Each structure stands twice: as structure tokens, then as C-alpha cells.
Amino acid sequence: MHTQLWNSILSQVSRSIDAHRFETWFRPLSLLESDDPEVISVAAPNQFIADFLDQHYKPILVTTAKQLNFRLKDIVFTVGEGSNTPADVEPEIKEEPKKVAEPKSSTKTTSYSYPQLNKRYSLETFVVGPNNEFARSAALAVAEAPGKTKFNPLLIYGGVGLGKTHLLQSIGNYLVSNSPNTTVTYISSEEFYLNFIDAIKNNSTKTFTSKFRSSDVLLMDDIQFFAGKESTQEEFFYIFNTLYQNGKQIVLTSDLPPSSLRGLQDRLISRFQWGLAVDIQPPDLETRVAILKKRAEEDNLDITQDILYFIAEHVSSNIRELEGVVIRLLAFASITRSDITLELVKTVLKDSLKKEKRRVTINDIIEAVGNYYKVPVNNIREKNRRKEVAFSRQVAMYISKSITNNSLKTIGLNFGGRDHSTVIHAVSQIENLIKTDETVSRDVSYIINTLNE
Ligand code: ADP
Ligand code: MG
């Protein structure tokens, strides 16, 4: 059996494709007995996956085997269960050599594994939109002239799954191809922290940190993770200073702008602000479509334009989720052995669609308020001055202001063409009542809750 070879191939592959994809295509595979020593036989859970691997991944797998100095004629994919357990490979190779505590006097033999760049994260595959173009330009400027721009450090910040890691690693990959003499180090703050703690235990912090001090470019991901970790921050502070003083480039990412990072020492935060902080915003619809298109192309997926739009319209929170949908589509198509149709997309998206909040309109609000206070909706909309009607109208205006994005002007127009000062008055009336009158406060929250359901 080629168990060892197969596992080596898998771990190699897991480095060059993203974790999602690895989980979809490679995790479910198991190795089969093969009569020919130069042929690897692998079982896939269904025909779709077998075909897909055969068409798209076979050449990579065979090349990888060659790189591992193994002569391989072929890899055969069949449907079924292998005799052995499924591939037991971590998608991101994090495994460190076991470190044995050394006596102080011994020479340092501890070796650290530093993470590698993922080749998939390149500037070419990074889709540019209004949400990220500034960050991308800054990243490119830094990649072209590390340490020589004013952007030192460059800090890229933004929410989860918006492309920070992708952009950060793109800088590294750009340098690896365009100026191979530049020493680039990429690490996430978490890995840095974990390794640093080990290094302290083993009395080998110098060995561990020397790689960082001697880098031309240091790419440090998710620095918010350093929050509250004093000695790690201390060490990082010295590394930062050394690099900065020697004109080396530092690029950082975080989930918040530097001024909002909690639990980090002030001296670090002030250093983060020496250079440039750029944000990445959630992508707009067009950018989401462009990203999906690129993903579909990468996977040779046939998805029509209107389906791409449908997905992009309904999944807007972050790009990782958007990609997750494409992967789920693949999986579904494989189980049902069907084409990717709008129907299939709707099934796949069912859960996400339910979660995505339906946008509440002013009309919904007027209806809900009318129902609750038993006042006809037309009376709320029009110029009826009866007291309970006027009150319901004010509540409806207040809720419209609170939970929709409509301007005061638009809200006024929806209530029989009243002007914005009337809306302001209504809003402040109800605000006061909510503070002083428990019934009003309870009623209003009740109505808002029903609207959000
Ligand atoms: P973050 O680090 O901000 O949480 P990632 O960089 O891990 O986000 O991005 C999540 C996924 O979305 C990755 O697979 C990445 O390749 C993809 N992605 C993000 N932004 C873009 C973009 N502008 N173009 C193409 N793919 C993107
Ligand atoms: Mg990230």
C-alpha cells in the first residue's frame, strides 16, 4: 500500500489549495489496494467527485508524486469505500516537531516550523472593487518597494472573511516571484504566540525570533490576537523596532482599526499608526459577482450569470461564506448528479436565505402598528387628527426611523406627505415616552420584535 506516499501527496496538496476545497475533494477519499506499484488507487464517495478529481486534479497529484521522487504512472479514482480510514491529514500543515525540554547548557537544536505562503493567494486572483481598491493599491506599492514607501508599517484591517489574509499573503507571493532575494516571513499572531510560548519553555526564544529579526519583510496576520498577551507583545515590540530601524517592511492585519484595538500596549498601537492603516469593506454586489465568477472559473463550474447574481444578492455578509456556497453547490450537484440550476441554488441557500433578514419596509411598519393599536392603516397614512391615530402614526414614524435606512424626508412622504420636521417631532415624542412610560416602551419593543421575525 502507498499509505505514506499518499499522505505525503495529500499534505503537499493541502498547502497549495484552500482548506475548503481540500475538505470537499480530498478529505473523503480513501486509499485502495493496488496491484501495480506505480499506480495509486483511490476510492471516492461518489461518481461526481471521482470524475472531478480525475479531470481536474490528477495532473497535480502525479506531478506532486514526482516531486516527492516517486515514479507514478497513474492515479485511478473509483467509487466506493476504501479499506483504510479516510485520509488523516491536517489541511494546513501546522505540525511542529516535538520539542523536548533541553537543559540550559545544551546547544540549541530546536527547530521551528514556520508557516508557508499559500500560492493561491495572489494579487492576480484578488478581485478589486471599490471596497478594497485602496488596500490593494497599498499592498501593491509595498510589494514593489518594500521598506521604501511611507507605508511602514502597512496595517490592513476589516471584518472576517473580507480578504485580509489573501492580500497579506499576496504581498509575500509577489516578492517570492519578483525578488527572490528578499526574505519574507509570514505568520499569524496566533502561531507566533504558540511558538513563542514553546520557545520560552525551551529557553530558545533567540532561535525562534531570529528569523523574524532577520526578515526583509514581515507579514503578521491578525494582530488583535496579541490582546492581553504581555510577554508576546513585548517580544514583538522589539522585533518591530529592529525591523523598522533597519528600513525593513512590516505589514499587519487586524479585525479593527488600530485605535479600537483593546488589550494591546499603547506603544504598539502608536507604532501601528506610524505608517498607513487601510480598511477593507464588505464588497458591493458587482464585486461579489466578480469574485463568484472567478471562483466558478477556477473550479470549472458552469454557472449562468443570473444564478451568480442570485447568489451574490442573497449572500452578502462575507466572501468566505460566498465561497462556501459555491462549494456546497458542488457537493449538492454531486449527490443529485444534476446541473446547477436556480432551483438547486435555492435549495442550497435555503438556510442562509432564512437567516438573511428580510428588509422591513415602512409599509410593513404601518401595517404592524395599525394591527397592534387597532387603527386602520389608511388613517395612519393620511391626515387624521384623532388622538389615537396621531399617536399610532408617531409610533410608526419612530419605528421607521429606528429600523429602516429611510431618510426623514422619505418617511414623511410615506405618511401623507408630511415634512421632515414632523417626523423629527414624532421621533422625539416617542423617545421621551419610551423613557417615561413603561407601556409605550413595551408596546414599541413588541411591535419591533414582530417586524423582525
Ligand atoms: P480574512 O483574512 O479577511 O478573514 P480571507 O483573506 O481569508 O479573509 O478571505 C476569505 C476568502 O475569500 C479567501 O478564500 C479569499 O481568497 C477570498 N477573497 C477575499 N477577498 C477576495 C477578493 N477581493 N477576490 C477574490 N477572493 C477573495
Ligand atoms: Mg485572515
Q: 255, 158 in Cβ contact below 8 A? A: yes
With a 6 A CB cut-off, is 320 part of the ligand 1 pocket? yes
Mutate to test the pocket of ligand 1, among 319, 325, 327 (most ligand atoms within 8 A of CB): 319
For residue 239, pLDDT over 70 is answered with yes
319 lines ligand 1 (CB under 6 A): yes
> Count of CB atoms within 10 A of residue 58's CB?
14
Residue 294's identity, in one-letter code, is: K
Q: Evaluate whether the domain defined by 133-280 bears CATH number 3.40.50.300.
A: yes
Considering every ligand atom shown, identify the ligand nearest to the alpha carbon of residue 131 and give its number. Answer: 1
Superfamily (CATH) of domain 362-452: DnaA protein, C-terminal DNA-binding domain (1.10.1750.10)
Q: Is the model's pLDDT at 133 over the cut of 50?
A: yes
Res. 111 pLDDT band, cuts 50 70 90: low
Q: Where are the domains of the chain?
A: 3-79, 133-280, 285-348, 362-452
pLDDT at 38: 87
Q: Could you tell me if the CB of 18 is within 6 A of ligand 1?
A: yes
Under a CB-based contact definition with an 8 Å cutoff, are residues 255 and 160 in contact?
A: yes
Ligand 1 centroid – CA 420 distance (Å): 42
Residue 123 reports pLDDT greater than 70: yes
The predicted-structure confidence for 271-289, as pLDDT tens digits, reads as follows: 999 999 999 998 999 999 9
Q: What is the mean pLDDT of the chain?
A: 85
What is the pLDDT at residue 192?
A: 94
Q: Is 315 exposed, middle or buried (0-12, 13-18, 19+ CB in 10 A)?
A: buried
Query: In percent, how much of the chain has pLDDT > 90?
Result: 48
Q: Is the CB of 164 under 6 A from ligand 1?
A: yes
SS3 63: helix
Tell whether ligand 1 has an atom less than 6 A from the beta carbon of residue 21. Answer: no
Amino acid (1-letter code) at residue 19: A
Query: Has residue 334 got a pLDDT over 90?
Result: no
For residue 370, the model assigns a pLDDT of 95
Terminal alpha carbon distance of the chain:
56
Residue 132 CA to its chain's centroid (Å): 14
pLDDT at 344 over 90: no
Q: How many CB atoms lie within 10 A of CB 330?
A: 20
Pick the CATH number of 3-79 from 3.40.50.720, 2.40.370.10, 3.20.20.150, 3.30.300.180: 3.30.300.180
| Tens-digit pLDDT profile for residues 404-427 | 878 888 899 889 888 899 999 999
Contact 231, 205 (CB under 8 A): no
Say yes or no: CB of residue 131 within 6 Å of ligand 1. Answer: no
pLDDT score of 92: 41
Distance between CA atoms of residues 369 and 379, nearest Å: 12
Contacts of 404 (CB under 8 A, 6+ apart): 359, 360, 361, 362, 365, 411
Residue 110: the pLDDT is: 52
| Centroid of ligand 1 to alpha carbon of 143 (angstroms) | 18
- Which of 13-22, 48-57, 226-235 is most confident? 226-235
For residue 84, the model assigns a pLDDT of: 47
pLDDT tens-digit map of 153-211: 999 999 999 999 999 999 999 999 999 999 999 999 999 999 999 899 889 999 999 99
Confidence check: pLDDT of 89 > 70: no
Concatenating the DSSP letter of every residue in 218-231 gives EEEE-GGGGTT-HH
CATH fold label, 285-348: Helicase, Ruva Protein; domain 3 (1.10.8)
Instruction: Summarize pLDDT for 18-63 with one digit per residue, the tens.
Output: 776 777 778 888 888 888 888 899 988 777 678 778 877 888 888 8
Res 85 pLDDT > 70 = no
* Vertex 185: Cα angle to 181 and 189 (nearest 5): 170
Supply the pLDDT for residue 385: 82
Pseudo-torsion of CA 250, 159, 295, 26, nearest 10°? 80
Q: Whose CA is nearest to atom 19 of ligand 1?
A: 163
Q: Which ligand 1 atom sits nearest the alpha carbon of residue 20?
A: 14
Q: Is 291 in the pocket of ligand 1 (CB under 6 A)?
A: yes
The predicted model gives 392-400 an average pLDDT of: 96
The pLDDT of residue 103? 38
User: CA nearest 45: which of 64, 60, 24, 21?
Assistant: 24
Question: Looking at residue 100, what is its pLDDT?
Answer: 38
